[in-house]
Amino acid sequence: MTLKKTAAGLLILSLAVTGAACSSTKNTASPSPAATVSAAPQATTVSQDATNMKGYIAARIAREKVDYLFAEAKSADGAFIVNPVAATDKESAKKFLSSYFDASMLDTLVNHYITDAKAGAAFLTNKTSYFKSNILATKKEEITFDKANTADLVKFTTKDGVTYTTKKVNDKFLVSEVK
């Protein structure tokens, strides 16, 4: 469904751009081919609201990945273990989460969840959540975005008073702080 919406949105956008180009006033002098080829592409500006949503969505995805890694797989006796599909120990867990969390959070987060106890070859995980509230239970209407947000840093607070900070690293938002 999301792929269909994305494709439909791209189609509408391309039609709008084409329509705007066709409806503009015509210049009587034809531009030279060299001028047309050398024109630099226009940079698209993204609104702060869109950037804020990217930071919020990145935080939600990061939380989903934490749940997947530490609260989904169970041992034969029913205890939660590190999900062996994604990681087997602290280092591989950090590597897995590094696509969603800033390096400054990885040690604290992984050390909170992975215990020294094992069930067979798998490490048991801490049942207590690292997070004070569940961002997955929030709606975007319940989020208050910081007025000082920028294109590279998005900070927001949930209705429960938990503040998330996401920062752009390599054109992707990563969670850098939760308090």
Indicate whether 69 belongs to any domain: yes
For residue 5, the model assigns a pLDDT of 52
Indicate whether 54 belongs to any domain: yes
pLDDT per position as a tens digit, 71-96: 999 999 999 999 999 999 999 999 99
Return the CATH number at 129: 3.10.450
pLDDT score of 126 more than 90: yes
What value does the mean pLDDT take over residues 47-61? Answer: 97
What mean pLDDT, rounded, does the chain reach?
84
Q: How far apart are CA 177 and CA 102, in angstroms?
A: 8
For residue 119, the model assigns a pLDDT of 94
Residue 46 pLDDT class (50, 70, 90 cuts): confident
Q: Which helix (H) or strand (E) holds 119?
A: strand 114-119
Tell if the pTM clears 0.85, that is, is over it: no
pLDDT score of 32 more than 60: no
Q: Two tokens at 172?
A: 């992707």
Indicate whether 97 belongs to any domain: yes
Indicate whether 125 belongs to any domain: yes
Number of domains in the chain: 1
For residue 15, the model assigns a pLDDT of 46
Q: Note down the domain range covering 158.
A: 48-178
Indicate whether 31 belongs to any domain: no
Indicate whether 5 belongs to any domain: no
Which 3-state string (H, E, C) describes 12-25?
HHHHHHHHHHHHCC
